[in-house]
Amino acid sequence: LIITVPASRQTAQESHPVVNASMLQTYDIRTNSHVSRQALARTNATTLKVGPDGSHIVTPDVTHISVSHDGKWMATVDTWRPYKRDMQALHHGDSGSSHPSEGFQETFLKFWRWNSSSNLWELVTRIDGPHFCDKGSVRVLDVAVRAYSAEFATIGSDAVLRFWCPSTRQRSGLKSDNPEEPMETWKCRRAIDLKPYIDVGMADSLGAASMDFSQDGSVLAICLGSQTCLNSGLAILIDAQNCSVRYSRVGLYKGMPCAVAFVGCNLVIASREAVSIWDTVDDIARAIKLPGSGSVSVKQPRLLAVSSETNTFAVSVECLQNNQHSKNRRMLRSSVQVYDILTLALLSETTLGHHPVALLSAMHSSDYIVVDVAANVQRIGRLDQSYQSNSHSRDLGSHINSGLRNLFGEHVRGKSQDPQHITTDSDNQNLQKELASVFSDAPPFVMPPASMIFRSVVDALSS
């Protein structure tokens, strides 16, 4: 698991805590141990953290991170705003600007390449202000990576979509550290202005945008949202190769889009109001109204994750419920619901102890991973057996060791009598290898909890 985390908790001049994610944390979920930590923003160790006036210098915030499917490239977006009081001198006498720092921000789009020798990401290209207007750089609303290709797409609040691809950099007279690897840089391959589709001509007018590539990388779907947009619930399909708009439709969802993802030909669109599933081939839209949708008090963005192997999707749900200790107070309850994309049936619901900040699907498994504000990594339990993946990690049941039959009772004994469950010496050797991978050779202080080890053993014996 790779996730951006803050370097430290800082306090702003207004005495409000500021937690900006500027570090890249690599974490091993299976062993529940730390792997590596790397700086992604301006975090030089020799830089003073306190300004001349005694105020803390706040680090930039990494708002987006995306990794290519082959694991060789990573794109990050970090932003930084100065303190309001530091910008008052530039807006002296301007009574109409209540927030002088909102007109100035630093936005960097960075492309990193994985270095297998150092096991770190090395910066290849930094692009200052990838999206901009007359006043300066604007926010980057979303980043998407194209499958089977080293290409990323970004969309900003200027309603401009940009495709980024690597190109060979020629620098005469400069020797490369690795002659076998050509020197590369990233550039904008194509830009598409989407302002005509939202019926606004003002720059920095797009409030929200979410996009995702199809599984084969041929189509890019974008959902746009703006307070002044007349075309609500807008979704656009773009040919990723020719960078041309193929189809657009309005009224697919309500409210601002929070996340979108492809599952086959179905586009799952999550907004604060509901979750919509759009069949892009038959042009049929369905919707699910979630608990707590439309509540004024619930303003957190909705998280979405999909699993193409099981044809399911998971969404975060937050709703207000009565407090057991106080009848006059209501508390916010967070949960993750998993739905089947074909029948829209609710498969499972897991209540969380803290507010979730990240939700993603586990590879080669039907599980989902949740990270909450308390830095807890939780794995949402497996679904029904019919929804499980057919990967090698879930087929360990074919290598059951009959020597453990007394431990699990009649259920395992019944399986051992089945001819297709009879084990051989080679099967026992394979089982020993699989069990060795469960316990590994790690020292005791980095071993996972006993419950996780027990679950891994049960997975190997209960299929």
pLDDT tens-place string over residues 164-177: 999 987 765 565 56
Q: Which two tokens stand for residue 299?
A: 């303003």
pLDDT in tens, 339-389: 999 999 999 999 998 999 999 998 877 889 999 988 889 988 754 443 333
At residue 192, does pLDDT exceed 60? yes
First-to-final CA distance of the chain:
26
Higher pLDDT, 95 or 195: 195
Cα dihedral angle (238, 239, 244, 245), rounded to 10 degrees?
-30
Residue whose entry in the numeric block shows the structure tokens 């084969």: 216
The amino acid that residue 331 corresponds to is M
pLDDT of residue 62: 94
Whether 220 and 147 have beta carbons less than 8 Å apart is answered as no
* pLDDT, position 456: 76
* Mean predicted lDDT score pLDDT of the chain: 78
Would you call 82 helix, strand, or coil by DSSP? Answer: coil
Q: What mean pLDDT is predicted for residues 406-412?
A: 39
What integer pLDDT is reported at residue 169 of this predicted model? 75
Residue 181 pLDDT: 63
The mean per-residue pLDDT over the stretch 8-30 comes to 73
pLDDT at 241: 93
pLDDT for position 42: 72
Comparing CA positions, the residue from 133, 247, 242 lying closest to residue 189 is: 242
Instruction: Label residue 423 by pLDDT band (50, 70, 90).
Output: very low
Report the C-alpha gap between 239 and 375 in whole angstroms. Answer: 39
Distance set, CA 72 to CA 15, 38, 128, 146, 430 (Å) = 41, 16, 22, 13, 32
Confidence at 12, pLDDT banded by 50, 70, 90: low
Higher local confidence (pLDDT), 253 or 92: 253
The reported pLDDT for the residue numbered 393 is 34
Strand partners, 346: 339
Gap between the Cα atoms of 346 and 128, Å rounded: 44
User: Mean pLDDT lowest for which of 35-44, 142-151, 238-247, 360-369?
Assistant: 35-44
Residue 51 has pLDDT above 60, yes or no: yes
Phi-psi region of 283 (alpha: psi -120 to 50; beta: other; left: phi over 0): left
Q: pTM to 2 decimals? A: 0.76
Give the least confident one: 318-327, 394-403, 415-424. Answer: 394-403
What integer is the mean pLDDT of 116-130? 93
- Whole-number pLDDT of residue 323: 64
- With tokens 């794995």, the residue in question is 379
- The pLDDT score that the predictor gives to residue 206 is 84
Tokens linked to 355: 């507010």
For residue 223, pLDDT beyond 80: yes
Residue 158 has pLDDT above 70, yes or no: yes
pLDDT band at 410 (very low <50, low <70, confident <90, very high): very low
User: Helix H segments across 70-142?
Assistant: none
pLDDT of residue 109: 97
pLDDT given at position 395? 34
**pLDDT for 15:** 53
Task: Pick from 56-65, 209-218, 299-308, 365-374 the range whose average pLDDT is largest.
Answer: 209-218
Q: In the prediction, which pLDDT does 104 show?
A: 79
Evaluate if residue 434 carries a pLDDT over 80.
no
pLDDT of 387 reads 38
Residues of the chain above pLDDT 90, percent: 41
The pLDDT assigned to 409 comes to 41
33 has which bridge partners?
28
Complete edge-to-edge strand list for the sheet that includes strand 140-145: 140-145, 152-156, 160-168, 184-193
Task: State the DSSP H helix or E strand holding residue 416, giving kind and residue range, or none if neither.
Answer: helix 410-417
Q: What does the pLDDT look like over 238-294, one tens digit per residue?
A: 999 999 999 999 999 988 899 999 999 999 999 988 899 999 999 999 999 887 665
Number of H helices, E strands in the chain: 5, 30
pLDDT the model gives residue 26:
92
